[in-house]
Chains A and B, each alone.
Chain A
Amino acid sequence: MFQKWKDRVTVTDIVMWMIGGTLLLLCLWGSVSTIRAGLYTKSHWIDFLIFGLAQGSIYALIATGYTMVYGVLKMINFAHGEVFMSGPFTGYFVATAMWRSDFLDNHPIMAIVAIFAVAMFVSTMVAFLVEKIAYRPLRGAPRLIPLITAIGASFFLQYLFKGLYGSGVNAYPDIEILNGFWMIFGIRVLKIQVIVIIAAIVLMLVLYNFIMLTRVGKAIRAVSEDKEAAALMGINVDAMISTTFIIGGMAAGAAGVLYALMFKQVHFFMGFLPGLKAFTAAVLGGIGNIPGAMLGGIFLGLIESVAPALFLDGLGIIAPYQLKDAIAFTMLVMVLIFRPTGILGERLASKKA
């Protein structure tokens, strides 16, 4: 028995377990000492949690796009962060135009719907065109090639929008009805955060039901299962791949507007970090798995907002919030090492690891 175990475990495994164990111990140690030191009150933690949920649900929406594209094409759509950026960046000009003409203050709901419509349309078009121009000619190429193309497309889009709309950071206009607080169960919560959470959850439910219940959704699932077999069953594979990009683009555009409404600013580089985080979320949930991406996104958002205070403050690290992104990336690497199939992904285990 021991012999068998010894044969299977390599030195690198042991090193990895040691690293993982150390990190886990550090986190535990940090949490215990933070809580014992009582640096934060209960309302602080609740603030962290709600902010984390809001941010996480945005990540979750972006992550669905990554995960669906991975499902059908088995590639990381590196340019998805830019799809996310393009919508709200364009929406910004609509928003300011409406703000200047007082439409935004007089008909806030209609204005918000208009911003969403424009942003989702632009993001969808960008996603569709990227697939058509950059990825479609590369079907069946060695795997490194679409990845590099995707990186190229990502930079092209970033600097295209920088050139078109300018390199400044643009502040989204204030929308009166989204400001202020609500009291929920005696807890003061920012309105915008609650709205972001609810909107994202509704959108995710719609998306999930679309994929699970409609004929198109079924066809997309069939394509991600097996392209050749799907084609034999009379499914237009190229059209389904395009549809996947369109759905992903719509979700990213909506997520982008939510992000812009929450953080109140847009710029050409805004897609890079959320894009990477959403990818992390998709990996966390098990790439190719839609509910997994949603769970992963929310989990990542929570970790990002809670962990610096919980894990790092107790270890005596100065300014733990600077390390927020490092935590997310560490988690990405750890998940890739220890459970490349993610929380919910089992299906893809042998195929892609």
Chain B
Amino acid sequence: MTKAQSLWNQGVKIGAIGGVSVLIISLIGMVESFGKRDIIAGVLPMGVAIALIISILAAYMAAKKTPISDKSIQFANAVVSGLVISGFLAAFVMIGRSFNIREMLVGASPVLYSILTGGVAGAGGIFLLLLTGLLCGAFAGILYMLRDLPRRLTVNALLTIFILGLLQELILPILKAWDVGMINYLAGLFYTLNGLTPVGAILSVVIFCILYLLWNANQGAIKSKYAALPKEARKKSQIAALIVLAVILIVLPQFLGLFLSEVITIVGLYVLLGLGLNIVVGYAGLLDLGYVAFFAIGSYVVALLTSPQIFAFGLNFWQALPIAVICGILAGVMLGIPVLKMRGDYLAIATLGFGEIIRILVLSDFLRPWLGGAQGIGSIPNPNLFGFQMVKPQHIYYLLLAGIILVIFISLRLKKSKIGRAWMAMREDEDVAQAMGINLVATKLLAFATGAGFSALSGAIFASKIGSVYPHSFNVFISINVVCIVIIGGIGSLPGIVVGAAVLMGLPELLREFAEYRMFVYGVALVIVMLLRPEGLLPEARHKMEFHDETEAGAKTVA
């Protein structure tokens, strides 16, 4: 390979990867179905925005990976990779227009071609596409050459627009709910029913830039002021922050509409599930893929005890709840015993098997007289608190909030207790932990039981929220979702779980077009997070340390 060739290698290679990525998201229909939602109304549909983001990112990487630090070569590399990406797309559009590939690739529709070519037919559209690629590459190249502050400012400003546009359905109803003339005016200025207005986009960039620069200038001063405070004052300010957070959490559903409250309760359910699994996976290091079984057990126990169908025990929710949690804990111990000796992937597969066995059993006609079979169990009464029926999602929200706070409290206490330390020792090395005198059997079973109890609690609330349970609600995807939340949020970290649940469960509910690609995006997210940031988004401090320790040690052995 000549030297000139090797200079352009990265540009072409990364461009090809970017091109294939954009092609994939176009072909699976993401660009087209996201085309209906605008980031900036009438200017930038979300599908195109995602394609642009990927292209710019790829071009930026190409500039960064250029073997020599010559500004012009780096810039040229970015442009090359931008061109390669658009070249891929152009070739695809030309092939798609001349041959019938729709028979096989269902996403290759004329609408997609028209989106990709900016609505211009014929060669003009192809030219426009290539030009866009070129501009993306040039933009990335310039971005790479900028100094640190302006670069961060540009990137974050663009991200602000993207996020504000993305969360239109979240922000607009909240603003509208105030119903004050001033705020209504502002809402109208920034948002249409379909994304930001161009004026809103420009205004938000300006506001963001001012805030960012202000923060940037005063950041050091604020931090040092905070650090200079005496210890009690710092503690007081922390408590004050907690109180503010609590007030926000308590009044939150009053400002959210019915739909958003529904979304929040779904997120809450998954937070509860995630907190439970966090004990098993995060603290004790046991990868449990059959976690949904305990969720199902909690739901079915509440359903059987409170629903007038099948047995008609006629208990109310509050009587059934502790029984459900106890059943969950017992099930945790019972399913825990067989897998005591397994580790790692064997454990994962065995628990996955358990989850499926339970689902198949519940679904079967054999147990139908007792568990309702595929029809499930219906007419589960809503929880009744001192004569107050909890019907709306807003009411369930408070139930969940109470549950989450309780579980977080237990988790935090457990983590610092002897058991918590035993779990973490076991997570690091079972043999060493045993040699240190930790009773592996009891410790493992405690982890399974605690996690299962939390999961059953979540299942109980789920059953009374939905009002009916079906075996199909308890498939392996729930387990996988929860594992994703725990791992992408940051193994072992409680704030990570809340963030993970909000991002992985809340966002797809808000972006309904997204729901179809939910599992696809999870798959990509899992792989990318594991490759780039194995400690997760908001890692526990200790875990983060471990991962970085390991990479350093790994680098040393390689060297």
Question: Which A positions have Cβ atoms within 8 angstroms of B?
Answer: 10, 12, 15-16, 19, 75-76, 93, 97, 133-134, 137-138, 140-149, 151-160, 162-166, 276, 279-280, 283, 317-320, 322-323, 325-326, 329-330, 332-333, 336-337, 340, 352-353
Contacts and interface: CB of A to CB of B under 8 A. Distances in A.
Nearest to B364: A322
Interface in B45-97: none
B206 interface: no
Contacts of A93: 103-104
A93 B487 CA distance: 37
Given A322-B365, A325-B356, A19 B343 contact: no
A336 B523 contact: no
Contacts of A157: 523
Contacts of B361: 323, 326
B344 A147 contact: yes
B350 A336 contact: yes
A152 B523 contact: yes
Given A148-B487, A279-B349, A332-B353, A153 B360 contact: no
B522 interface: yes
A170 to B, nearest CB: 11
B183 interface: no
A159 B523 contact: yes
A160 B526 contact: no
Contact of A164 (B107, B352, B517): B107
Contact of A326 (B24, B346, B357, B524): B357
A155 B106 contact: no
B420 interface: no
Say what secondary structure dominates the interface of chain A: helix
B86 to A, nearest CB: 21
A317 B357 CA distance: 16
25 contacts: A10-B441, A93-B103, A97-B103, A143-B344, A143-B345, A147-B344, A152-B526, A153-B527, A155-B480, A159-B520, A162-B520, A163-B30, A164-B27, A165-B105, A166-B106, A276-B353, A279-B349, A317-B366, A318-B366, A319-B365, A320-B366, A322-B363, A329-B356, A332-B350, A333-B357
B179 interface: no
A157 to B, nearest CB: 7
B353 A322 contact: no
B407 interface: no
B531 interface: yes
A233 B323 CA distance: 62
Nearest to A10: B441
A85 to B, nearest CB: 14
B364 A323 contact: yes
A284 B348 CA distance: 16
B357 A329 contact: yes
B346 A336 contact: yes
Interface of B: 24, 27-30, 103-107, 285, 287, 337-346, 348-350, 352-354, 356-357, 360-361, 363-366, 368, 441, 480, 483, 487, 517, 519-520, 522-527, 530-531, 534, 550, 554
A163 B29 contact: yes
B534 A333 contact: no
A337 B349 CA distance: 12
A76 B342 CA distance: 14
A336 B342 contact: yes
A156 B520 CA distance: 5
Nearest to A137: B531
A340 B357 contact: no
Nearest to B547: A142
Contacts of A158: 519, 523
A32 B342 CA distance: 34
Contacts of A162: 28, 520
A33 to B, nearest CB: 16
A75 B28 CA distance: 30
Contacts of A76: 345, 348-349
Contacts of A133: 527
A220 to B, nearest CB: 21
Contacts of A279: 349
Contacts of B103: 93, 97
Contacts of B28: 159-160, 162-164
Contacts of A353: 341-343, 346
A280 B526 CA distance: 24
Contacts of B527: 133-134, 149, 152-153, 156
Contacts of A12: 337, 340, 441
Contacts of A337: 338-339, 341, 350
Contacts of B345: 75-76, 143, 147
Contacts of B526: 148-149, 151-152, 155
Interface centre among A138, A147, A155, A340 (most CB of B within 10 A): A155
Nearest to A143: B344
Contact of B287 (A138, A147, A155, A319): A147
Given A162-B28, A163-B27, A319-B365, 9 more contacts: A156-B520, A156-B523, A164-B27, A319-B364, A322-B360, A329-B353, A330-B357, A336-B349, A353-B342
B474 to A, nearest CB: 14
A343 to B, nearest CB: 16
A337 B426 CA distance: 20
Nearest to B530: A149
A148 B483 contact: yes
A152 B530 contact: yes
A323 B107 contact: no
A299 to B, nearest CB: 17
A250 B123 CA distance: 41
A159 B519 contact: yes
A156 B524 CA distance: 6
A338 to B, nearest CB: 10
Nearest to A163: B28
Contacts of B365: 318-319, 322
